[in-house]
Chain A
């Protein structure tokens, strides 16, 4: 059995679930296994999960609290002994893995599992006969199939799950100064460019764009959270993304769906160059002010 965990946030099944279903279906058709999607939540729309052979639905208002899913999944794994469990490599997904063998940050799997680690600098091939794979967002095209599928319902109380974490609320981001997700041109500031944020702002202004940033810059409080590009921030889809001093860790790259990426980084092995059309190996603090001068004249 190949089990797929459906990630549900605010009652909606996330895209990553349909992405994983594409690969689960492909593997299962080849190995003649069953694809079983596990849904936990309340009033969840199961309509597009038709790529599954079967759905296990634990419907309970308390399961709007994703922090309880860790316990429920453990019980379900015990009960059904799936060979492989596929989960999105997301904030919610990462919390689900308990004592099962698990490979994180996977981008493909067939006979072997392919994953990325060391900040995107090392590719890893491993074997995993049984266990969990945490799949990176964007690894497969989503597969939404509108088809009636057999639904097996389980009750939270019968599963004997302890309910010792309460979801108090979900806070939405404050009203933003700029919506980077809608910008046509984004100038991204990474750790390597944190001393020239003002120059980057100028550059963005002259290009009619906005400034975004990678996680380390935001964490240091140098720019507001609304400017964060990546898994935990915003996904941007501009015509041009100019990445300054950004190494390009998976967490960042997952949020970049730009038509063109131009990257300046002093490390020629920086993963950001793998998604770039043009690249400069050099010092942003030297090059960017010169570039600004040229664009002004």
Chain B
């Protein structure tokens, strides 16, 4: 059985309100690499017949917003969906709390990193808690009997191929195929016919002593005007630069 973890993270396109003590998003979305992890799990299900659970992690504000991602996961082929409310805490505390419910899986997939992570990596910490192998930056998985054959992206286009035994935690960076498109009608169907089970883990809170800051103002020279004027100015700059 495969367990996939999907986290609600700030939607960066919608912007953030940054104060010294907190970062407040206007909207949440599913962490993109976690969505790739879902797709990879479904690919493995199709290829080898695994059963797949998705486990959504969201704070109070994102607790209902995560439902969309979980129903989408079911529409993509996941068998069951669960969700867990996460208090203000660290990846260390989350990994510890999750370890009990994750130990039944042969394979645990999640994104290598969540866009709002800065203190510890949940993917790696789960493996540490469960005392099982971890490989991150994964772009492909095959099964050979009891073994996993994992493709790990290195640098400069190099790919490492690793063989290891199940169980393991894999941090996915991208899936073998892009996540499949789910039409809205199909999503609505799933929402009517499936439910998301809630799990209460009473995760311990922990606040870190950190200060958040807006990035420094860029030194860039902005070109302004109508689209036509901008195109004209850009063309002039480009011509000068390339000659």
Residues of A that sit less than 8 Å from B by CB: 9, 65-67, 70, 90-92, 94-95, 97-99, 101-105, 115-127, 164-173, 185, 207-208, 215-216, 219-221, 225-226, 228, 231-235, 239-240, 242, 247, 260, 262-263, 267, 269, 271, 273-274, 276-283, 286-287, 290-291, 293-295
Contacts and interface: CB of A to CB of B under 8 A. Distances in A.
Contact of B222 (A118, A124, A170, A280): A280
A279 B239 CA distance: 16
Interface string B151-179: 11111111111111100000101100110
A120 B116 CA distance: 10
B96 to A, nearest CB: 9
A166 B163 contact: yes
Contact of B215 (A126, A207, A274): A274
Contacts of A225: 157
Interface string B171-213: 1011001100000000000000000000000000000111111
Contacts of A92: 154
Nearest to A184: B242
Given A125-B213, A170-B154, A279-B218, A118 B115 contact: yes
Contacts of B162: 65, 67, 165-168
A231 B227 CA distance: 33
Contact of A168 (B119, B154, B163, B173): B163
B18 interface: yes
Contacts of A216: 32
A78 B163 CA distance: 27
Given A233-B156, A276-B218, A295 B161 contact: no
For the residues of B in contact with A, the DSSP-based class is mixed
B28 interface: no
B16 A168 contact: no
A239 B241 contact: yes
B133 interface: yes
B227 A99 contact: no
A123 B112 CA distance: 21
Nearest to B137: A91
Contacts of B16: 118, 121-122
Nearest to A172: B158
Nearest to A99: B128
A240 B208 contact: no
Interface string B202-243: 000000111111111011111100011011101101110110
Given A280-B230, A287-B231, A287-B234, 9 more contacts: A102-B121, A104-B120, A122-B18, A123-B215, A225-B157, A240-B241, A247-B12, A280-B223, A293-B231
7 contacts: A67-B133, A94-B113, A124-B210, A171-B160, A173-B158, A240-B242, A291-B238
Contacts of B158: 9, 170-173
B161 A169 contact: yes
Contact of A120 (B10, B209, B215, B231): B215
A90 B134 CA distance: 15
Contacts of A166: 162-164
A65 B160 CA distance: 9
Nearest to B136: A95
B159 A97 contact: no
Nearest to A218: B174
